[in-house]
Chain A
Amino acid sequence: MKISADQPSGLTALDRPNSYIGRSVPRPNLARLTAGRGQYVSDVVLPRLVHVAFVRSPHAHARIKNIETAQAKKAPGVVAVVTGAELTKVITPWVGVLTHLKGLKSAPQHAIAIERACWQGEAVCAVVARTRAQAEDACALIQIEYEPLPAVADAETALDAATPVIHPELGDNLTFERTLNVGDADKGFAEADAVVETTFVFGRHTGVTNEPRSIVADWNPGEQRLTVYQGTQAPHMTQNLFAKHLGLEERQVRVLTKDVGGSFGIKVHIYADEMATVALAKLLRRPVKFVADRFESFSTDIHARDHRVKAKIGVKNEGTITAFAIDDLTGIGPYSVYPRTSGIEANQVVSLVGGSYTCPNYRAHARVVFQNKNVMCQYRAVGHPIATAVTEGLVELAAAKIGMDAAEIRRKNLFPDDTYPATSAAGLKFEKLSHHACLDKILAMMDYKKLRAEQRQLRARGIHRGIGLASFIEVTNPSAAFYGVGGARISSQDGATVRLDATGAVFVHSGVTEQGQGAESVLAQCVATAFGVPIERVRVVTGDTDNTPYGGGTWASRATGIGGEAAWQAGKALRANVLAAAAPILQANPEALDIRAGIVVDADTGRERMGLDEVARIVYFRPDTLSPGLQAEFVATRHYVPRAWPFAFTNGVQASYLDVDIKTGAVKLLRHWCVEDCGTVINPQLVDEQIRGGIVQGIGAALFEHCLYDEAGQLLNGNMMDYLVPMACEMPDIDIDHMVSPTADSELGAKGAGEAGTAGAPACVMNAINDALRPLGAAPITAMPITPERVLEALRK
């Protein structure tokens, strides 16, 4: 039985009486979610609601010559048929660029395609009807005359002179390029005793959120306000975008985010069909609902990770790594995605490769190109799975080449635990990491020596077992360096407002959002502890731009580290405010009082003086009895943004243990371990579950998930029968442990943990498979997903 006890974990130094910090407090949302009483956007129904369905381009690239809508307009239930050109009357196009990604370019993208469709799946016409089924029926009656254009499908040839330029006004198909030369890579390779050079290929895959993207937009002409119910990670960001492109002021737009059925970065962007839905609501002056069906999800939810990385490592015989070099090429579809852009993933790959190691020589080149496939953008762990697989793949190939143990080569090269602060070759600044402690811990957890011995014995019996490791770093708690400095109105700060109600309970309003990761629990834990009430008396409100402090929302593992710190500070401020009011009532000095378990007590002895309910009663209902001049303030707001570091880097290590069936090529995962360091752990169970879920998402990328396109840019497997996701029967149990290196930038010291699992899992699964196959003389497998076919192919070489 493995249900965690709700008691202090010993993982934190933040000791207050009745502290909830470091405890596995169950999430308050779960009772209604397990009872089917969630409120997802797909559940939202409003008076006069109509539904939109889109006719989508069957071509990867085509001129739209004519759209015949007469028949559709007469179909049962149809309210409106709207083309891209007609929709431009209410919504303007956008361009997905950021100024700090120098040279990044893209073309204007419309809510519905005008004149030209640039990927298979792009919306070409909208039908609004009383039911979704009627809208889809009418879609089938629309006749569109297309002139197919040559499709740019292959990123490798996208920049060739013979390849058509998708947006001629941009001059070429190059979206973004970055080069980096640090130290002297050539000298490093020259000094190496062994050099390993290979090409890593990462398959395009996508988020497959269980609830597809959903939006209900309601324009109220009487109020001149747009209310949008949206399953999004960043409500204030989408509020800004809706206002900007509909010609409204932000105050005229309210975005509400209730339960979200999975996001993982899929729901942190704005999509053309979502823009079209809000525009239709404005045009039709009534609520319009769009819920993507699964086929639409596969062809329009952002894809990610389609990278080809030529990579090289130099190593001395005693194990010192002398140089890393990479050349990354990625195709991102026809547009850079708005507003975060599609240059970030390649940029991250350049920044992160080699980042765990002291090697000073690093050369990198990355190119991002346009193509006629669905758009690519940031998905959970942006760039990390690629950078980690490249780095850790190279490190294990180098170890094999010089005959060194995989753990030993890491010990030789990981940043030592006592050298912080430190800066990586690529310029990443690390406040405090714990690579070696994590490595020691995971080797002990898995009993590495015993597993190696077992592996040798099993090989003699024809069982091909592999052990793979992957050390990693993770970008969390981003400052304005990520988006703000590039001109995007995406807030890096976040706020919390706490309010004492008339019975002594506390309301917390936060700008971060609940995506199922447990942000609302963490906020409640922070406030309950800082303020001093039982957690049952804390009610958290998120996901409402009318009623929460301005903030960035949930992405880049920021909700706990940034939103949690704001909540912690707000809870402390409210405690001070309440004690300032209680002190004169109790004829005590405020500094001599504290609030514990909902009661004002003497700080030194803990003697109970007055319940918060009584303090609230006096302040709210009998202020006449308070001394003149005392105005109680039972609301406090605090904000937080990381200042000392651009990012709070975390680190960790994962290990995979598996069998490869050399007859079928099938991989059986036996066990998976992770030791990671996200600083102060607010809720151990939630952190562990973030990591477990992230690991399985990474395993999906390593073994199964692939958006397959043909040469004409047609998606071949856009459904859940043909696109494989990890299901329970294929997944292993996952053991997790922690090191704790808090960030000194905040009082809580918490860093993020949402992406560590996804960052490291593909690398260590790949390494384990290669470890299993190496004695058979197989060629190293460096292309994902690692299908049985690829395993058998490697064995034939």
Chain B
Amino acid sequence: MSERFCEISLSVNGEDVNERVEARKTLVDFLRDDLGLTGSHVGCEHGVCGACTVLLDGAVVRGCLVLAVQCDGARVETIEGLSDSGAIADLQDAFQRRNALQCGFCTPGMLIGAQDLLARGGIPSRDAIREHISGNYCRCTGYHAIVDAIESIALARAGKAA
């Protein structure tokens, strides 16, 4: 049975983590169940809804399509880490002011996806914003407010009037 479990070492939100995990366990289950990082959500478990979106070595991934054992030696960032560091404080503020979330279940993934787009620089068009967040399912808002919020921060970060 021993091959069913693996020892992994990784950095999660800047903290070193050493754990013994089941080989079949997904990254999002590991984050939620083993580390208590419940900000990453489980929506569909087959890579469509985007609620489990996290950063793996700086790249956007689906936490339900990556196994925890694949993250040995990697750097993982979740919504908790991005919140505590203040890296997306402006986006979070815009989401709040624009009511770009209702139930909030998609929001951590949506914010990480939005940050990924904005980090590329420039001012994306509304269509480009819509295209970029099309891997993140939101049932509540109809997306318009989310696009508004992301657009406003793109403009603000570029020094244009928001």
Contacts and interface: CB of A to CB of B under 8 A. Distances in A.
A29 B148 contact: no
Contacts of A30: 95-96, 99, 101, 104
A516 B103 contact: yes
Interface string B76-91: 0011100100000000
B14 to A, nearest CB: 15
Given A34-B92, A516-B102, A731 B80 contact: no
A294 B48 CA distance: 11
Given A727-B134, A731-B130, A33 B104 contact: yes
Interface in A686-731: 686, 689, 692-697, 719-721, 725-731
Contact of A1 (B22, B105, B152): B152
Nearest to A28: B96
Given A208-B139, A262-B140, A518-B102, A689 B145 contact: yes
Contact of B43 (A33, A37, A211, A728): A211
A659 to B, nearest CB: 15
Interface string B12-32: 000000000010110000001
Contacts of A29: 104
A42 to B, nearest CB: 7
Contact of B45 (A294, A693, A757): A294
Interface string B95-116: 1111101111111100100000
B138 interface: yes
Interface stretch (B33-41, B55-63, B67-75): B33-41
Given A211-B41, A728-B146, A720 B104 contact: no
A489 interface: no
Interface string A26-42: 11011101111110101
A516 B99 contact: no
Contacts of B94: 3
A231 to B, nearest CB: 10
A149 B76 CA distance: 51
A27 B139 contact: no
A444 interface: no
A692 B142 contact: yes
B147 interface: yes
B42 interface: yes
Given A211-B105, A516-B140, A693-B141, A42 B41 contact: yes
Pick from B105, B106, B129, B142 the residue with the most CB of A within 10 Å. B142
Contacts of A587: none
A30 B94 CA distance: 11
A35 B80 contact: yes
Given A694-B142, A727-B137, 5 more contacts: A3-B97, A34-B101, A211-B41, A262-B102, A689-B141
16 contacts: A1-B148, A1-B151, A27-B96, A34-B111, A37-B83, A38-B105, A40-B41, A210-B51, A210-B137, A210-B140, A261-B104, A261-B105, A294-B44, A719-B48, A728-B130, A729-B127
Nearest 3 pairs between A and B by C-beta? Answer: A36-B39, A33-B104, A516-B103
